[in-house]
Homo-oligomer: A and B are copies of this chain.
């Protein structure tokens, strides 16, 4: 394995100068066609590949996106991150960008990592996921001029701050649609199992239920519960709801974990047909045949990259500070209906 060929080797083989080779790679249009072809041939004959680090050193851009892998949730919802990451890698590749991952314990540690990667010119821009109330990361990134985009709104902050680029999914609309669909199918007493307030995401989703369920305040109070995320918790809540004198005839949940628990509880309570809707459309939901609100992650990732890098290409836009163009995007999720003609917990179908 001799050393890899360099631009100089290619230049010599093609009988042109270093810079012309570079131009063929970076601005092909300014090179005469015959020359370009000759250089291209030399490139492929020698198997030349530009040395990424040399290029980065010179251009001062790393063409790399950094993203933190969340601490593992023991729930099921981690699958969303997984899908997100996959899409991100896919679409980044299409723009000739690389994706670097890292882990961190808490927001402070995450910022330390970000600083290290950014100052070392390892990473041009960051993708934040899972914004929460009182998130310290965004302000820090803005203050330090580190380009970023977040998947998740700045809860409790200024939604319109142009310096904070964000993409999010309109959970409120998603839940509203799900509730409306249930009502159209005849359900009248639709319950809600969600997360304790304040939770940006959770509160929005609950608001969707509240808007669409068509129940008076007292009934709503009786038919909604809040709990930490998890299958057990979901089961416990559903059991409680179903044991009330005025039981619900459908349940909408803030997550698939809760919904799976609810589904199990409903089955155990002898009501396997009870309509239940989850959120995130995780693999588990598909596996057990649970309806779920699906986040359009493809679009989320596309929008995130567009906000960071523009329509196409891999040049990171500087942190915006004016209102010239919108710096955020709210996407609409879609309900995936299952469970009517599908495998259910109550009655297995199959060969």
Q: Spell out A's residues near B (CB within 8 Å).
A: 1, 4, 47, 49-54, 56-57, 62, 64, 69, 72-76, 78-79, 81-83, 85-86, 89-90, 93, 98-103, 113, 116, 119-122, 145, 230-233, 235-236, 239-240, 257, 260-261, 264-265, 267-269, 283-284, 286-288, 343, 345-348, 350-351
Q: Does the CB pair B287–A257 fall under 8 Å?
A: yes
B119:A49 contact, CB within 8 angstroms: yes
Q: Quick one: given A49-B120, A79-B79, are A100 and B99 in contact (CB under 8 Å)?
A: yes
Residues A122 and B98 in contact, CB atoms below 8 Å apart: yes
| Partner pick for A346 among B47, B98, B268, CB 8 A cutoff | B268
- In the complex, what's the smallest C-beta–C-beta distance from A239 to chain B, in angstroms? 5
- CB distance B103 to A343 under 8 Å? no
Q: A348 and B239 in contact (CB under 8 A), knowing A86-B72, A119-B49?
A: yes
CB-defined A-B contacts under 8 Å, sample of 22: A4-B119, A49-B116, A52-B62, A52-B120, A53-B54, A54-B57, A75-B283, A75-B287, A78-B82, A79-B79, A98-B100, A98-B102, A98-B122, A99-B100, A99-B102, A231-B287, A232-B287, A235-B350, A260-B287, A264-B288, A268-B347, A268-B348
Question: Is the Cβ of A235 less than 8 Å from the Cβ of B343?
Answer: yes
Residues on the B chain within 8 Å of A75, using CB: 283, 287
Report A302 CB to chain B, min CB distance, Å.
Answer: 15
In the bound complex, what is the Cα–Cα distance between A297 and B268 (angstroms)?
Answer: 35
Most buried by B among A50, A54, A350: A350
Query: A52 and B121: CB pair below 8 A?
Result: yes
Q: Which of B49, B264, B269, B283 contacts A76 (CB 8 A)?
A: B283
Residue numbers in B under 8 Å from A82 (CB-CB): 72, 78-79, 81-82
Number of copies of this kind of chain in the complex: 2
Give the residues in chain B near A235, CB-CB below 8 Å.
343, 348, 350
Would you list the 3 A-B pairs with minimal beta carbon distance, nearest first? A236-B350, A231-B287, A49-B119
Specify which of B64, B79, B230 is in contact with A287 (CB 8 Å cutoff).
B230
- Rounded to whole Å, the gap between the CB of A19 and the closest CB of chain B is 19
Name the B residues within 8 Å of A79 (CB-CB): 78-79, 82
- By a CB distance below 8 angstroms, the chain B residues around A287 are 75-76, 230-232, 257, 260-261
Contact partner, A288, options B54, B64, B74, B231, Cβ 8 Å: B231
Q: Which of B53, B93, B98, B346 contacts A57 (CB 8 A)?
A: B53
Choose from B90, B283, B346 the contact partner of A74 (Cβ within 8 Å): B283
- Bound together, the chains give a CA A233 to CA B350 distance in angstroms of 8
B-side contacts of A51, CB under 8 Å = 57, 120-121
B86 touches A103 (CB 8 A): yes
Q: Give the residues in chain B near A64, CB-CB below 8 Å.
A: 100
Interchain CB contact (< 8 A) of A101 among B101, B343, B351: B101
Q: Complex: how many Å from CA A120 to CA B48?
A: 9
Question: Known contacts A76-B284, A239-B348; can you find 14 more A-B pairs with CB under 8 A?
Answer: A4-B119, A53-B57, A53-B62, A78-B79, A78-B283, A93-B102, A99-B101, A231-B288, A232-B343, A235-B343, A235-B348, A236-B350, A257-B287, A284-B284
